[in-house]
Structure 1
């Protein structure tokens, strides 16, 4: 169960992919600030079970002749939970500075005795995705698997999260849907995210004006219903994720912002 809870260390996992057709309206004021750092805690009920850090690297990179941001997410168990099972995961991606589509993404997973090291390359012009894993016995990469993504504006989780931040939600009506093309592990998904309007979220850094989004989850054994996850992004130029709340069959999980550094502009704080 704990390993499933810590999926939220990656800040919404499949819930924050975003595709092109229904998210054409981009906020011209949104700018990714190099050096941005966000810190979160993960709670199961009243128990803090983990922590996560998201970083945008200070410099830009070139991949497939495109300028890219490098974004990394680190997640681990914390406190007494670490004595029960240890999680120490690292996810990352090189994403296009304009479209936020990924060119390279990677996962280095350590969860108890489970290990997975994966490298994925996205070739958007040809519509191909190349994924390969490390053989845990030899330390060498296995033969890559090729996936056909022609006709898709495809994102990984990190690129989708960044693209979602660039959308101008002031142009959306409550109930509007963002459709999704997303690659995760060995599958191309078609998700939907419902815009549910504006809200105020209490965080460790203060109460913040926010947009509320609810991904429609497919049938699964983890989440309790298709509206089981709610996410909140700041209603300002930063559009950072503030909170996630998920109803699971085993209880409620939350991810809460506890600190931030190097944002583009001040958060949209409101007086309590």
Structure 2
């Protein structure tokens, strides 16, 4: 594993920065999933950059780990998938807890299949909202949409609408993979929803890069093997960064939705701050072709946040579910 030892000089300020980076990581992998919204941060705060996935120094100390790995969106041409992980009508419902406190709810939905300019796509949406009893602490009403190429699972358009306490912002990204560019519009609102800041820009992107939500659905279509890490390149706003998914062990977990055979993974952002972090994001996916997120936990400064699956709609017989 590539996590470095925490230095003795690591102080509270460093720890606060680490938790901000960990918060962004939550969004990167499921990423992509805004339902860990209590640990979600301002999109302006991310500090990431494009770089080699593993440095020469890390490569030399990691033995043959990199040789036993899988890079899934780093080529010059997209892979054509036979999607077996999700389908139209899939709806996953979750509850979010802060310690023993019920903090909120989230949903992941495959809303529709459409076509635009002869290009077929999935419309996928995740939503997150704080529980009514938690609204007075931090009211959340978030929505993320992605329009995903039907066969190749790369994003055509990404939309993120955040309503978190006093923070209100929209992000729209239109991907032009043929020309390796993305058109970005970011809007920050005042409390009265009048525009406070608007920014439009065009950035260069690697071929067929994934946003935070499409990356998750791409990972669901991979054959996860214990001990074989997965690498992919991800885009968030105007940043390009690399993501490593460590695949650990298989476990049986019981949540409100039932008892499942699962495979445990951990996403690692290729940034020094993440490698130094105490706060870790751990994810358990159903150990079958669907790879549904059964449970997630992430540490924050005080306590931890747990997201658990409560209901599955649109999948009649999940092979990993123990009856």
- The aligned residue for residue 203 of structure 2 is 147
Q: 1:264 to 1:146 in 2, by over 3 A?
A: farther
The match for 2:133 is 80
1:103 alignment partner in structure 2: 156
- TM-score normalised to the size of structure 1? 0.83
SS at match of 1:30: coil
Aligned partners of 1:154 and 1:183 also within 8 Å: yes
Asked if 2 retains the 8 angstrom alpha-carbon contact of 1:93 and 1:103, the reply is yes
Q: Name the counterpart of 1:125.
A: 178
Gaps of 5+ in 2: 1-15, 32-70
Q: Between Structure 1 and Structure 2, how many residues are aligned?
A: 259
Deviations for 1:130-175, whole angstroms, at most 9, x for unmatched residues? 110236375599452111113x431011111111111112xx3x32
2:103 aligned with 1:49: yes
Q: How far apart are the structure 2 equivalents of 1:11 and 1:92?
A: 18
In structure 2, distance between residues paired with 1:64 and 1:26? 19
Report if the CA contact (8 A) 2:83-2:151 is conserved: no
The 8 Å contact of residues 130 and 145 in structure 1, kept in 2 or not, is answered as: yes
Structure with the higher helix share, 1 or 2: 2
Does residue 1:68 correspond to 2:150, yes or no?
no
CA distance in 1, matches of 2:238, 2:277: 24
C-alpha RMSD of matched pairs (Å): 3.1
Deviation per CA, 1:188-241: give whole Å up to 9, x if none. Answer: 1111111113221211121101111111244449x9437x11111111232111
Pick the aligned partner of 2:218 from 135, 160, 163: 163
When residues 213 and 48 of structure 1 are mapped into structure 2, their CA distance, relative to the original with a 3 A threshold, is same
Q: 1:235 to 1:125 in 2, by over 3 A?
A: same
Q: Which residue of 1 aligns with 2:12?
A: none
Instruction: Tell me how far 1:79 sits from its aligned partner.
Output: 3.7
Q: Which of 73, 89, 101 pairs up with 1:35? A: 89
**Rg comparison, structure with higher value:** 2
Of 246, 249, 259 in structure 1, the residue corresponding to residue 301 of structure 2 is 249
Q: How much has 1:66 moved relative to structure 2?
A: 1.5
CA contact (8 A) 1:63 1:94 kept: no
Give the corresponding residue for 2:246.
Answer: 194
For structure 1, the 5+ residue unaligned runs are none
Q: How far has the Cα of 1:19 moved from its partner?
A: 3.8
Q: Distance in 2 between the 1:28 and 1:70 partners?
A: 17
Alignment of 1:237 onto 2:289: yes
Q: Is the 1:206–1:269 contact (alpha carbons within 8 Å) kept by the matching residues of 2?
A: yes
Matched residues in 2 for 1:29 and 1:71: separation? 14
Indicate how the Cα distance of structure 1 residues 120 and 72 shifts in structure 2: closer, same or farther if over 3 A, else same: same
CA contact (8 A) 2:95 2:308 kept: yes
Cα separation, 2, equivalents of 1:249 and 1:220: 15
